[in-house]
Structure 1
Amino acid sequence: MASMAACLLMITTIFSILHLSFGLSSDYYSKTCPKGEEAVTDAVKKAVANDQTVPAALLRMHFHDCFIRGCDGSVLLKSNGNNTAEKDGPPNISLHAFYVIDKAKKAVESLCPGVVSCADILAIAARDVVVLSGGPTWEVPKGRKDGRISKASETIQLPSPTFNLSQLQQSFSQRGLSIEDLVALSGGHTLGFSHCSSFQNRIHNFDGSHDIDPSLNPSFASSLRSVCPMHNKVKNAGATMDSTSASFDNTYYKLLLQGKSLFSSDQALLAHPKTKGLVSKFASSQGAFSQAFVKSMIKMSSLTGGQEVRLDCKVVN
């Protein structure tokens, strides 16, 4: 009973912090900062041209921001003497490319001081990196405010790569996101790289009967074990999220159906006929995936919870 009460309290707390905001608008800054979005896009383009890891980094950063206190830029805040911020929480240690948001903010501030929130800049940048990676585009609803609270302890709310389907569904539904949103947003795993620690559980000591997760393609599992041995000592060892990890496409779903996904949470999408059906749909149609991803990204990024427009994304006003 105590654990159930704690769970209900957590759900209530999440809903009190997060809400789907219908006050957002694609033309929110049309009069107050008409060139602001263009300035963000320019900064992102320059960063991506110099560093191919930026797209995956910014897309993941936006997701991790929205899932804690809504899309309020709290993931951008730095820790101080009295508080360890979200960016220094265990699931966020590998987040990087914060400098891109800082540069974009500086460019926007030179045009329209104190007008455009860091949360909006991150949402625009997430859209831009998808486009720059060959994915779909969309009008980003704007008008988010920046949050003043950022706690590393709250990052335990982020979906884990070891989650099963029930845990994933609960995490997404607490934020007003559906099973369709879960499968579509998981497609973001088409970009980037994962360290061994996120999928080690599938390739060593999987359970009492298997050393390797039997759902993994044997040759794929062997390749993962070669780069991530049991006592791996290579700091940045790992694997790309899919075979076209610099391109935003539906390869992730195709490989998932072949037993070539990295995370337990990826494999979990095949555990139910509905989610498996969506995986198959997206694997067979790039267009269907793109359409669903855009819809779910707009829905997720409309979770709001901030109070101010920060002048510096790293610190509260």
Structure 2
Amino acid sequence: MAFFNKNSKSFIKLILIIYFLQITALNGQLRVGFYSERCHNAESIVSTVVKEASQREPRMPAMLLRLHFHDCFVQGCDGSILIDNVKEAERNAFGHEGLGGFAEIQKAKTQLETQCPAVVSCADIVALAARDAVVLAGGAFYEVETGRRDGRVSDLSFAEKMPDVDDSIEVLKQKFKTKGFTEKDLVILSGAHTIGTTACFFMPKRLHNFTGKSDADPSINPKFLPELRSKCPKNGDVNVRISLDNLSEKKFDDQIMHNIKNGFAVIASDARLYDDNITRAVVNSYLQTEISDLNTSSSFEKDFGLAMVKLGRLEVKTGLLGEIRKISEFSHGTSQN
């Protein structure tokens, strides 16, 4: 009986250890330098791909930044936005119209698979590429936590709650709140529109039928409205691209905040940030000029980096959850941003 008890205790102890290890794996944590031992040059490979792509296509930084946001906002940062081998893929949702950068993610993945097979997730590549895109556009460097695993599910219906360009400020706040973001996060992440372009596809209501009476959004500066309407005329080509920030489209800075305050925001959702007391106060906090030693641009860039780290933690899969895909699973399409 004593022999049985001794072995029983050892067996139970072994089971508890295995159980603890499984729980630890299931609840794995993101951390900076996750690939430092198993694939030490993972980040440099992604950085090189992003740099080369940006030299060929000036809009690439904005594309990759937007891709990361759209991936994370639907099912978390799990690379599901890349999947396109199912009938109703998530990436085909209306809210994802015009996404680009897929080929660049695949190129980085291919190189990483050659050097470190089945180690680096597509989700982490997307997150790293977004950071490198910000830096290339002149924004501040921020450390990217890695260790995400890739999701296996892609469903168009999951993207129904993506922020929409014509959402009211109340709806925008609620959509971000549902994901654990504050009003400040909403403003800062919207600040990504300091670089890149949009399409006239997203402008008709704001420019030509805001209240259903063939009118324009009254928040548009009267000096700016004719310019926008000339670029996106009623019944014109919806594929025409226009800068989200006329003054510094390719530079990551705080100019977008000035545009929002002064009525020069291009898309409606950016303009709506000035409709609410809380979000308006956040916008104004980056425009303080009375304090001579306050570098508002640097302040915005720092806060943007912090917001991106928070975004990158959204509903991630780590440990034994998800998988490490060998390819990003996408089909070639038209890239726009």
Q: TM-score, normalised by structure 2?
A: 0.83
Tell me how far 1:305 sits from its aligned partner: 3.8
2:8 alignment partner in structure 1: none
CA distance in 2, matches of 1:299, 1:78: 27
The answer as to whether partners of 1:228 and 1:238 remain within 8 angstroms in 2 is: no
1:309 aligns with 2:324: yes
Amino acid at match of 2:270: D
Partner of 2:250: 246
Q: Find 1:129's aligned residue among 126, 130, 133.
A: 133
1-side partners of 2:101 and 2:269: how far apart? 25
Q: Which deviations, in whole Å up to 9, do the C-alpha atoms of 1:9-51 show, x marking residues without a partner?
A: xxxxxxxxxxxx8710002111111111111101111100111
Q: Is the 8 A contact 1:216 1:260 kept in 2?
A: yes
SS where residue 71 of structure 1 aligns? coil
- 190, 193, 205: which one pairs with 1:189? 193
1:228, distance to aligned residue in structure 2 (A): 1.1
- Please list every run of 5 or more consecutive structure 1 residues that lacks an aligned counterpart in the other structure: 1-20
Asked if residue 300 in structure 1 is aligned to residue 307 in structure 2, the reply is: no
Q: Which residue of 2 aligns with 1:217?
A: 221
How many residues were matched structurally? Answer: 292
SS at match of 2:219: coil
Deviation per CA, 1:50-77: give whole Å up to 9, x if none: 1111111111110000000000000011
Specify the alignment match of 2:11 in structure 1.
none
1:107 and 2:118 matched? no
For the residue of structure 2 that corresponds to 1:218, the secondary structure is coil
State the AA in 1 paired with 2:117: P
Q: 1:169 aligns with which of 173, 185, 206?
A: 173
Aligned 1:86-97 pairs, distance under 5 A? 86-97=90-101
C-alpha distance after superposition, 1:188-241 (max 9, x if no partner) = 011111111212211102115671111111121111111111111x25214200
The counterpart of 1:202, out of the listed 200, 206, 209, is: 206
Q: 1:271: how far off?
A: 1.5
The within-5 A match list for 1:221-236 is 221-232=225-236, 234-236=237-239
Secondary structure of the 1:224 match is helix
TM-score scaled to structure 1, two decimals?
0.88
Q: Counterpart of 1:14?
A: none
Distance 2:275 2:209 in 1: 21
Bigger shift: residues 248-257 or 272-281:
272-281
Q: Supply the RMSD in Å over aligned alpha carbons.
A: 1.5
Please state whether the residue corresponding to 1:69 is helix, strand or coil: coil
More displaced 10-residue stretch of structure 1: 138-147 or 236-245: 236-245
- Largest Rg, 1 or 2: 2
> Is residue 42 of structure 1 aligned with residue 13 of structure 2?
no
Pick which of 54-63 and 264-273 moved more: 264-273
Corresponding residue of 2:301: 290
Q: 4+ runs of 1 displaced by more than 4 Å?
A: none
